[in-house]
Chains A and B, each alone.
Chain A
């Protein structure tokens, strides 16, 4: 594959992470446990979907077929999506959503920090922009892990179970796909482990010890959940092509 194709796949991977997780969190809109947290999740969803737009615009340019971000978001099928599996896992209860967001944000933050010095000027500027927003996401999800972990007996049991359940989806981010080599930073795993461990300790939670990790999302091999997300997300533009307000 040419360097351009690799770069296109990287832009799709980053855009799809943001789009799919953004869509997932947006499902909380109107269902949050309290108003402030409903608003927090909606804001995080909005940030991620904004970031997805920037990456997918870049992807569309690299693809060179005259498409735009909407085309890439709404007209591709499951096998074309390159997001991490963790992004598509269903929301579950509030603890599940927090655990997923926490594990993702910790990685996302480290990734964007490195990508802010990328040789690729587009990825660099998108990362610099996104990093500021993701700093707030990371703080929010980490605070909730601590609050639930060091909270009541019930909240602690729920967040521990949620962390244990999501754990085997957290390794994929650190298994490089062929297309990302030389473009995305490597060796973020140790920093991620350290950062996650520090928060879990503060939260009086146990760090899971499982080492087996599920991968596949980066190369288009997804869980059964992604198809359902796309069915909902893509229905309107597919049923009514080029519909506008």
Chain B
């Protein structure tokens, strides 16, 4: 399907909207913006929550609305959709690199749903020194989407964006 000018403008506007908790990655790279569709002269934007209780969800919706308005893209509506549910697979490669540069280890590729269930540990690479000699301190970290790790080589604690 070919993108309309309006849709394309909306995508580029939204790619400037940052996640409030991780202000280096856009809501587009995080995979929060699900669809942008122009229908009968109106934009319909669908966003999806990462974790169901994530307090940033409301802030993100407000930021999306504000950005679209500032870019003169009215009339539009923004709705929240749950299905298909958000997964860390939806984070773009560019987004993963941004996370790493920011000091957050990006999610490992495979499904961690299964790993979380079976209690298997994956080697997570330290975003500071690149060592794989790391240790999970807690499956739960500073925000719902992160686990708490430490590096046994450079001794720095770090966040890991855990798979969902």
Task: Using CB atoms and an 8 Å cutoff, list the residues of chain A in contact with chain B.
Answer: 22, 36-37, 39-40, 42-51, 53-54, 121, 124-126, 128-133, 135-136, 138-140, 143
How large, as a class, is the contact surface on chain B? 20 to 34
Q: Find out whether the CB atom of B52 lies under 8 angstroms from the CB atom of A140.
A: no
Give the residues in chain B near A49, CB-CB below 8 Å.
53
- In the complex, A22 Cα to B52 Cα: how many Å? 13
Q: Find out whether the CB atom of A43 lies under 8 angstroms from the CB atom of B144.
A: yes
Q: Find out whether the CB atom of A44 lies under 8 angstroms from the CB atom of B140.
A: yes
Which of B53, B82, B84 contacts A126, CB < 8 Å?
B82
Task: Using CB atoms and an 8 Å cutoff, list the residues of chain B in contact with chain A.
Answer: 49, 51-55, 82-87, 113, 116-117, 119, 137-142, 144, 148, 162, 164
Instruction: Write 18 A-B pairs (CB below 8 A) sorted by A numbering.
Output: A22-B53, A37-B138, A43-B141, A46-B144, A47-B52, A47-B144, A50-B49, A50-B51, A51-B52, A125-B83, A128-B82, A128-B84, A129-B49, A130-B52, A132-B87, A139-B116, A139-B117, A140-B140
- In the complex, A47 Cα to B143 Cα: how many Å? 11
Give the residues in chain A near B140, CB-CB below 8 Å.
36, 39-40, 42-44, 136, 140
Q: How many A-B residue pairs lie within 8 Å, measured between CB atoms? A: 83
Q: Find out whether the CB atom of A54 lies under 8 angstroms from the CB atom of B116.
A: no
Q: Find out whether the CB atom of B139 lies under 8 angstroms from the CB atom of A136.
A: yes
| Known contacts A128-B85, A129-B85, A135-B117, A53 near B142 by CB under 8 Å | no
